[in-house]
Chains A and B, each alone.
Chain A
Amino acid sequence: MDVIVCVKKVPDTAEADVSVDAGGREINKERLTFAINEWDNYAVEEAIRLKEEDEGTVTVVTVGGKDKEDILRRSLAMGADKAIRVDMEDPEDSFVLANVLCTLIKDQKFDLVFFGAQSGDFNSGVTGAMVARMLGISHAAMVNGVEVLDGSIKASRELEGGLNEIYEIKLPALFTIQTGINEPRYVSISGIRKARKKPLDVMTPEDVGVTEVKPMLSLEKMYLPPPGKIAEIIGGSPEEAAAKLASLLKEKGAF
């Protein structure tokens, strides 16, 4: 099985203090840390597992500047065979991005293409299915289980409330991968260093043959949510706060 995995580098904002920059169209990114999109990490792991079960290759692809290369190196260290970076600014617009990825992928040899179900920064969740449609191949979104059959894949899609639905999908196909499908392996710094010898191709948009397309969305502005209702904060040291909360819980009848 030859698998292509599309990966994106995203800022970690779950625990960060996020502010919008002066232009009002982007957040301040200087103090944020970046990593491979959580969903994409599961996708890379799944591709490597398929290769290990049977045979084939795993190619990881990202569209972005040189600062994005570390997520490709990390994926190579996990066990991917080859990486491609399309050297252009990571397109803000999903349709523009899908166009670049489709143009690149259509000339590659593959049985399967994996995307993340969504990217953790904008949660669009559209690029995978768009690329499948542009390539003219079958797809399934929110896949949380993959089993290889002869010429097809048995794929489990995650639905609401813990329910799954199972499809049989003919190859070639494209899946968007949901978190929890596997346990991504750990990569060490020395592992990343060893993977330096693996090929990482840098292609210009011209090499890929990218044509200009019109974005589908235009961003007007970004802003912080207006302050709304907020919990009554119980202050003090952890012990003091815990004592007050314990009394409150008792008073309300929790125990």
Chain B
Amino acid sequence: MTVYILAEHRRGELMDVTFESISAARRLNDEVVAILLGTDLADHAEKVAKYADKVLVVEDERIENNTEAYTQVIGEIIKKDKPKVFLMGNTSMGMDIAPALAIDLDSPIATDVVGISEEGGRIKVNRSVYNGKVLSDLVLREAETSVIAIRSGEFSAADLEEKNGEITKVDSPLKETIENKKFLEFVEPVAGAVDITQADVLISVGRGIKDKDNLPMAEELADAVGGVVSCSRPVVDYDWLPKDRQVGTSGKTVKPKFYLAFGISGAFQHVAGMKGATMIVAINKDIKAPIFSVAQYGIVDDLLKVMPALTEKIKELKS
């Protein structure tokens, strides 16, 4: 079985999900061909070829940073070569491209996939649903090509076998410049006054903090331990804290010595940003919250009771 994967890169950097995609494709046990699109691709091609059986390189500046051009070009390549599976990351780019590609190719699609296998020619996937509390097994409809988008960080690329595959240049199949959807620019995140990536102790609050008015309680605890307040995404979405305090895939990756998660459920997008902490403590009233499987220590209780008590005890121990 041949699996085509997308080598994702942005602003001169190859994304980790490229190698994770190769790793996922290897579970289907056969030839892995990587597609690399854009400009300035020589370095990327070599890095990818190390682990892929083949790399197809399409140099065309009309494709660079344009998801619509990506979709059309991948579609043309897949229609011609007819691999059994096309696989990419369920990244922001994947969420834009993969479903559109599935319609263009009349292919079944499974996204946010955490497990993949083949059974009698059919592709079977494992997905995590209902806030990570339930797993589901699904079988994809019989098709010439199936489209799979994998969850980032889920398929380890640590033990990839070296292949030193062949690099092949392919003429751009893009018929015309995309006029309906023009890429204009990247916008950098705004840096704030506090850099949460530099803190040794993070007091991190999630939706469980319930109200903006409870935030000073977290600030007091942070002051008592000499730490900084960070948060999960909803706290930023509600405008309770600025974006630069957000931990996770769409925020910052932190590696503090101590990470105290208050009222955070432990969605994978959050965990991806903090699992490198030396010691993780979760305070959550729901023992089934996924955060307890990443934490070393936990308290199953109301954070609004635990947090002020912890502040008091720390102050006592310090004096």
B109 surroundings in chain A (CB, below 8 A):
94-95, 126, 216
CB distance from B289 to the nearest CB of A (A): 8
The distance in angstroms between the C-alpha atoms of A98 and B111, with both chains bound, is: 15
Q: Kindly supply a per-residue 1/0 record for chain A positions 90-101, scoring 1 wherever the CB is within 8 Å of any chain B CB and 0 otherwise.
A: 000011001000
Name B307's closest neighbour in chain A (CB-CB): A242
CB distance from A112 to the nearest CB of B (A): 14
The distance in angstroms between the C-alpha atoms of A11 and B138, with both chains bound, is: 21
Q: From DSSP, what is the main secondary structure of chain B's interface residues?
A: mixed
A128 surroundings in chain B (CB, below 8 A):
99
The reply to whether the CB of B292 lies closer than 8 angstroms to some CB of chain A is: yes
Name A164's closest neighbour in chain B (CB-CB): B187
B side interface size, CB within 8 A? 101
**Which chain A residues in 14-54 approach chain B with CB under 8 Å?**
14-15, 17-18, 20, 27
CB distance from A1 to the nearest CB of B (A): 17
Give which listed residue, B93, B137, B314, contacts A220 with CB less than 8 A: B137
Q: Is the CB of B182 within 8 A of A168?
A: yes
Q: Is the CB of B181 within 8 A of A169?
A: yes
Name B304's closest neighbour in chain A (CB-CB): A238
Q: Is the CB of A165 within 8 A of B183?
A: yes
Give which listed residue, A162, A219, A231, contacts B295 with CB less than 8 A: A231
Between A and B, how many residue pairs show CB distances below 8 Å? 271
Of A55-63, A132-140, A189-197, the segment with at least 4 beta carbons within 8 Å of chain B is A132-140
Given contacts A165-B65, A224-B134, A238-B301, contact A139 B100 (CB under 8 A): yes
Q: Is the CB of A254 within 8 A of B258?
A: yes
Q: Is the CB of A141 within 8 A of B141?
A: no
Of A118, A231, A249, the most chain B CB neighbours within 10 A belong to: A231
Q: Is the CB of A247 within 8 A of B317?
A: yes
Q: Is the CB of B140 within 8 A of A216?
A: yes
The distance in angstroms between the C-alpha atoms of A103 and B258, with both chains bound, is: 53
Q: Is the CB of A163 within 8 A of B141?
A: no
Name A222's closest neighbour in chain B (CB-CB): B136
Q: Is the CB of B95 within 8 A of A176?
A: yes
The reply to whether the CB of A129 lies closer than 8 angstroms to some CB of chain B is: yes
B255 surroundings in chain A (CB, below 8 A):
none
The reply to whether the CB of A187 lies closer than 8 angstroms to some CB of chain B is: no
Q: From DSSP, what is the main secondary structure of chain A's interface residues?
A: mixed
Q: Is the CB of A166 within 8 A of B184?
A: yes
The reply to whether the CB of A255 lies closer than 8 angstroms to some CB of chain B is: yes
Q: Is the CB of A13 within 8 A of B252?
A: no
Q: Is the CB of A222 within 8 A of B140?
A: no
Of A76-84, A153-161, A199-207, the segment with at least 4 beta carbons within 8 Å of chain B is A153-161
Q: Is the CB of A130 within 8 A of B102?
A: yes
Q: Is the CB of A126 within 8 A of B292?
A: no
Q: Is the CB of A124 within 8 A of B108?
A: no
Give which listed residue, A11, A130, A246, contacts B314 with CB less than 8 A: A246
The reply to whether the CB of B214 lies closer than 8 angstroms to some CB of chain A is: no
The distance in angstroms between the C-alpha atoms of A156 and B112, with both chains bound, is: 22
CB distance from A175 to the nearest CB of B (A): 10
CB distance from A10 to the nearest CB of B (A): 9
A239 surroundings in chain B (CB, below 8 A):
305, 309
Of B185, B237, B288, the most chain A CB neighbours within 10 A belong to: B237
Given contacts A130-B102, A166-B187, A255-B226, contact A125 B298 (CB under 8 A): no
CB distance from A115 to the nearest CB of B (A): 11
Q: Is the CB of B141 within 8 A of A217?
A: yes
A170 surroundings in chain B (CB, below 8 A):
179-181
Given contacts A17-B288, A248-B297, contact A122 B314 (CB under 8 A): no
CB distance from A13 to the nearest CB of B (A): 4
Of B48-56, B79-87, B238-246, the segment with at least 4 beta carbons within 8 Å of chain A is B238-246
A250 surroundings in chain B (CB, below 8 A):
314, 317
CB distance from B76 to the nearest CB of A (A): 15
The reply to whether the CB of B27 lies closer than 8 angstroms to some CB of chain A is: no
CB distance from B127 to the nearest CB of A (A): 8
**Which chain B residues in 271-296 approach chain A with CB under 8 Å?**
279-282, 285-288, 292-293, 295-296
The reply to whether the CB of B103 lies closer than 8 angstroms to some CB of chain A is: yes
Q: Is the CB of B292 within 8 A of A222?
A: no
**Which chain B residues in 217-240 approach chain A with CB under 8 Å?**
224-227, 233-234, 236-239
Q: Is the CB of B293 within 8 A of A228?
A: yes
The reply to whether the CB of A70 lies closer than 8 angstroms to some CB of chain B is: no
Q: Is the CB of B100 within 8 A of A130?
A: yes
Given contacts A166-B185, A170-B179, contact A217 B138 (CB under 8 A): yes
Q: Is the CB of B134 within 8 A of A18?
A: yes
Q: Is the CB of A179 within 8 A of B317?
A: no
- 19 A-B pairs besides A166-B183, A238-B299, A254-B201 with CB distance below 8 A are A18-B288, A122-B129, A123-B127, A124-B112, A130-B102, A141-B92, A161-B189, A161-B252, A161-B253, A183-B239, A217-B108, A218-B138, A230-B293, A231-B292, A232-B298, A242-B306, A254-B257, A255-B225, A255-B317
Chain B residues proximal to chain A, CB less than 8 Å = 10, 65, 67-68, 90-93, 95-96, 98-100, 102-104, 107-112, 124, 127-141, 179-189, 200-201, 207, 224-227, 233-234, 236-239, 243-244, 246, 249-253, 257-258, 265, 279-282, 285-288, 292-293, 295-302, 305-306, 309-310, 312-314, 316-318
The 6 listed contacts between A and B (C-beta, < 8 Å) are A13-B130, A170-B181, A220-B124, A233-B299, A238-B305, A242-B313
